[in-house]
Amino acid sequence: MYYTTTKVGKPTAHITKKKSRLKVYNGHVVFLNDKDNFEFEIHNPTQKSVLCKIKINGEYISTSGVVIRPGQRMFLERFLDTNNKFEFSTYEVKDTSLNRTAIDLNGDVRIEFYNEQTYNQYPHLSGGNWASGWSTINTGSPWYGDITFTTSNSVPTAYYSNISSVSNTIETGRVEKGEKSKQQFTNSYQNFEYNASRQIIFKILPLGVKNKTTDDIKHYCTECGIKTKSKYKFCPSCGNKL
C-alpha cells in the first residue's frame, strides 16, 4: 500500500490598503501616507482553525483575537474592542536620543498565530470569544517556543539618524484609531494553545522617508530571520530563496 503526504502551508499575513497588498521592503518594512487606512489580510491554509492576535506600537490591540477557519482568508480593517479602522498617523519630533527611544515602537506590528487545541490542555483559559471571529483567551506572557520569525523585530537606529541629518527633525508615525468601520463579528468558543506557533513582523514608516531609508534597511531571511546581505540569493542558514 502506498501513502502520499499532503503539504500544508503556514498562516500568512499581509498589510493592505483598499485590499491591495503594500510593497514590502526587506521582508518587513512598508510605507503609508498620513491618515491612510489599512487592513490586515490574514489567510489560514492549515486544516485546523487558528487564533490570530495582533500587537501594534508595542501593545496588543485586545486580549481577544480573530479565529480564522481552515482555508479562510479575511481582511481585518478595525480594532477588536472598538469599531474604529486602523489609521496610520504621522508627525515630527526633534532629533534627540530621548525622542528616538520614545518613538522606537512607532509603527511596529506583530501578528501572532495560535494553534487550535486538540484537547483542553489549559481548561482555565476556556472562555467566551468573538467570532467569524474573535476568541477571548488570556495569554499573559506567552513563551514563543516554536515560533517562526520572518525578520528582526526592530528597525535600525540608522533610519532616524539619516532622516534627520538635514532638518534635525524625525518624521515618524503610529497606528491609531480612525473612522468608524462597518465590519462585524460573531462569537466563537474554540480553545487555542497558550504558546504562539508563528509570528510575522512588520514596520510601518511614513512614505515621506521612503527614499531616505530604503538603502539603510538591514536584510533578513524571511523564513528563519537570520541577517543576510542584499547580494545573497539564498539564505546561508536555511537555504530559503531571498
pLDDT interval class at 87 (50, 70, 90)? very high
What are the backbone angles phi and psi of residue 171, rounded to the nearest 5°?
A: -90, 125
Contacts of 8 (CB under 8 A, 6+ apart): 45, 46, 47
Q: Which residue has the higher pLDDT, 189 or 54?
A: 54
Q: Mean pLDDT over all residues of the chain?
A: 80
The Cα–Cα gap between 237 and 192 comes to: 31
pLDDT of residue 219: 66
Helix (H, G, I), strand (E, B) or coil at 241: strand
Across the range 208-235, mean pLDDT stands at 69
Percent of the chain at pLDDT exceeding 70: 71
pLDDT of residue 188: 87
Instruction: Determine how β-strand 29-32 pairs with β-strand 198-206.
Output: parallel
Q: What is the pLDDT of residues 1-22, one digit of tens each?
A: 565 556 778 999 999 999 999 9
Q: Report DSSP state, residue 162.
A: H
- Ranges of beta strands (E only) in 192-241 are 198-206, 219-220, 227-228
pLDDT of residue 233: 77
pLDDT of residue 237: 81
Contacts of 140 (CB under 8 A, 6+ apart): none
Q: What is the pLDDT of residues 184-197, one digit of tens each?
A: 998 888 999 999 99
pLDDT of 95 above 90: yes
Weakest-pLDDT range from 46-50, 59-63, 151-155, 175-179: 151-155
Do 185 and 133 form a contact (C-beta atoms < 8 A)? yes
Amino acid code (one letter) for 170: I
pLDDT of 84 above 60: yes
pLDDT of residue 241: 76
The Cα–Cα gap between 225 and 60 comes to: 22
